[in-house]
Amino acid sequence: MQGAFRIQPATAADVPVILQLIRELAEYERAPNDVVATAEGLHEVLFGEKPAAHVLIGREGDEPVAFAVYFFNFSTWLGRAGLYLEDLFVRPELRGKGYGKALLVRLAQIANERGCGRMEWAVLDWNDPAIQFYRKLGAKPMDEWTVFRLTGDGIAALASVRTRQD
């Protein structure tokens, strides 16, 4: 698995690799049973008519060893797009080689090219190595913000609420 490290945008042919890296990330984040993504679903959402996200794959030689999943959001206060990093993962045995930093540098270049006003991402509060890594790169935690989430049934329940506009 030796060779030069390179970063490339994922293609539809990379869907099986992306799914494998997602599973490895879930294992690392102590949630292996939470992955419900399928190759077919990823193909549609990443490479279909309206792609919802983009993926960069980091390869050492020909071997995929890292990935970053990102999409563009919008800041009303800045009046500009932002880049949101959904996932960044480097296989644990290959950490410390600068691959994560290289992926973040490439993402910053993309954000800069697109005129983004900021880059944001979330990190699990127990993941101290990642927190320290991000701080070292100059990222600041947004401690005053709390993330909220609705999923399947919660989305459906809220969508079915009747409002005065109905």
Residues taking part in catalysis: 134
Rounded to an integer, what distance in angstroms lies between the CA atom of residue 90 and that of residue 31?
A: 17
Spatial CA neighbour of 107 closest among 34, 58, 48, 46: 58
Rounded to an integer, what distance in angstroms lies between the CA atom of residue 153 and that of residue 17?
A: 30
DSSP SS3 for 21: helix
Structure token pair of residue 52 = 């919802």
Rounded to an integer, what distance in angstroms lies between the CA atom of residue 119 and that of residue 94?
A: 25
Structure token pair of residue 104 = 């973040």
